[in-house]
Amino acid sequence: MNIEIIDLDFMDEEQVIASFLLLADDGSSAAIIETGPTTCLERLKAGLKDHGVSHEDVRQVFLTHIHLDHAGASGHLAEVLPNATFYVHEVGYPHLVDPSKLVKSATRIYGESMNELWGEARPVPEDRVVIMKESGEAEAAGGVLVAHDTPGHAYHHLAYLEPDSGALFAGDVAGIRLPGQSYVRPPTPPPEIDVEAWVRSIEHIREIAPASLWPTHFGSYEDVNRHLGELEQRLQDWLLFVEGRMDEGAEREEISEELKAKGDAEMLAEGADTGQSGQYDMAGNYPMLTDGLMRYVTRRREKR
Ligand SMILES: [Zn+2]
C-alpha cells in the first residue's frame, strides 16, 4: 500500500493538521486516518481527488481520538463517503454517534471561536461505526491496521500500526513536531490529560517498535527512539515545572507565560526555526497546555 499525507491547511496554515491516506496497490480501495475538523472538509475532499480516489473507494476511516481537530468532520464525511466504516475507541464511540456533549465541552474551551475553528459536528450513524480495542485489527487499503490503546493526551486514544511498513499513526500521543524540526512539544490540553498514563503509552510504543512515527501535527519521522525520549523527558519536566510554580502560589497567566519562555528557549537550544512556533501554537498553545497540566496536578492531588 501507499501512504500519503493530505495537508488540511487548517486556518490557511500549512503543516498544522494532517489526514493520512492509505491507497491499495491495485487502486481498488483506500482508507483515511484522521478526518480533521469540518472547516477543512473541502480540503480533504480535494486531497482525495488529487490522489485519484473516488468517494466510493474509501472503505475505512480510522480515528485516533474524537477531539475536533482529529475527528470533527466525521459526521459530514459519513454523508460524503457512502462505503466508509468509522473506527474509534470505545470511550469515543458515544461522542461520535452523538457529538452534542463534546461540542458543549469544547465550547467551554473555545467560546466564540468554536465555529471559525472547527465548524459544525454532525453525528455518524451507529451502524457505520466499529469499536476498536488494544491489538484489534481492521482491513485497510489491501492491508491491515492494528489498533494500540495509548491513553495520556486523552483517555480514549488509539494509535494505529501498519505492520508492513512499520508506520505508526500516532494521533497526539507522540506529541507535536513539524517537518524539518527535531523539537517535540507535548500537547497537554484540558480536560483529560494523564501524564502517568502517557508515559506508560510511550513505553507501549517502544515495545511496538515502529519504524516511523506519524503525528497528526504533523508529518512522519524515523528517529523514533530519540523522538519518544525527548517527548517523555519534556512531559515530566513541564509537569514538575508547573507543579512547582503552583506550590509557590503562581497564577495561571504567570505560569503560562513562564512555560512559553521555557518552551521557546528549549526550541532555540535545539536549533529550531522559531518561525514555525506559530504552527506549534496552532496545534497546542501555552495557555491551553498550562491549563491541562494544572488541572492534572489538582486532580492527582485530590485523589491522594
Ligand atoms: Zn490534536
Element (H, E) at 267: helix 252-269
Q: Measure the CA dihedral 230/156/218/269, to 10°.
A: -20
What band does 147 get if pLDDT is binned at 50, 70 and 90? very high
Q: ω before 191 within 30° of 0 (cis)?
A: yes
- Local structure of 269: helix, strand or coil: helix
- Residue bearing the bigger pLDDT, 9 or 109: 9
The DSSP string of 157-201 is: -EEEEETTTTEEEEETTT-B--TT----B----TTT--HHHHHHH
- Short-list 223, 244, 216, CA closest to 154: 216
269 C-alpha vs ligand 1 centroid, how far in Å?
25
171 C-alpha vs ligand 1 centroid, how far in Å?
7
For the chain, how many residues are written?
304
1 C-alpha vs ligand 1 centroid, how far in Å?
26
- Residue bearing the bigger pLDDT, 124 or 283: 124
Q: Give the pLDDT score at 303.
A: 86
71 C-alpha vs ligand 1 centroid, how far in Å?
9
Q: Are 124 and 60 in contact (CB under 8 A)?
A: no
- Short-list 83, 77, 85, 88, CA closest to 45: 77
Q: What is the pLDDT of residues 164-208, one digit of tens each?
A: 999 999 999 999 999 999 999 999 999 899 999 999 999 999 999
215 C-alpha vs ligand 1 centroid, how far in Å?
9
Element (H, E) at 147: strand 143-149
Q: Give the pLDDT score at 87.
A: 98
Return the C-alpha cell found at 128: 457505520
- Spatial distance between the Cα atoms of 233 and 230, rounded to a whole number of angstroms: 5
What residues contact residue 260 under an 8 Å CB cut-off, 6+ apart? 286
The DSSP string of 11-37 is: GG-TTSSEEEEEE-TTSS-EEEE----
Q: Are 164 and 58 in contact (CB under 8 A)?
A: no
Task: Give phi and psi for 155, each to the nearest 5.
Answer: -65, -40
- Spatial distance between the Cα atoms of 219 and 157, rounded to a whole number of angstroms: 19
183 C-alpha vs ligand 1 centroid, how far in Å?
16
213 C-alpha vs ligand 1 centroid, how far in Å?
15
Tell me: pLDDT of 273 over 90.
Answer: no
Return the C-alpha cell found at 282: 496552532
57 C-alpha vs ligand 1 centroid, how far in Å?
26
Tell me: pLDDT of 274 over 80.
Answer: no
Q: Give the pLDDT score at 275.
A: 76
14 C-alpha vs ligand 1 centroid, how far in Å?
15
What band does 271 get if pLDDT is binned at 50, 70 and 90? confident
59 C-alpha vs ligand 1 centroid, how far in Å?
24
Q: Using N-to-C axis directions, what is the helix angle for 224-247 and 252-269, rounded to 10°?
A: 150
Q: What is the pLDDT of residues 258-268, one digit of tens each?
A: 999 999 999 99
108 C-alpha vs ligand 1 centroid, how far in Å?
17
Q: Give the pLDDT score at 160.
A: 98
28 C-alpha vs ligand 1 centroid, how far in Å?
30
Q: What is the pLDDT of residues 211-246, one digit of tens each?
A: 999 999 999 999 999 999 999 999 999 999 999 999
Q: What is the pLDDT of residues 102-145, one digit of tens each?
A: 999 899 888 899 999 999 999 999 999 999 999 999 999 999 99
Return the C-alpha cell found at 28: 481498488
65 C-alpha vs ligand 1 centroid, how far in Å?
9
Return the C-alpha cell found at 248: 509557590
Tell me: pLDDT of 278 over 90.
Answer: no
Q: What is the pLDDT of residues 52-77, one digit of tens each?
A: 999 999 999 999 999 999 999 999 99
Mean pLDDT, residues 259-284: 88
Element (H, E) at 134: none
247 C-alpha vs ligand 1 centroid, how far in Å?
29
Task: Give phi and psi for 147, each to the nearest 5.
Answer: -85, 140
249 C-alpha vs ligand 1 centroid, how far in Å?
30
Flag the least confident range among 14-23, 79-88, 105-114, 150-159: 105-114
What band does 163 get if pLDDT is binned at 50, 70 and 90? very high
- Spatial distance between the Cα atoms of 161 and 285, rounded to a whole number of angstroms: 28
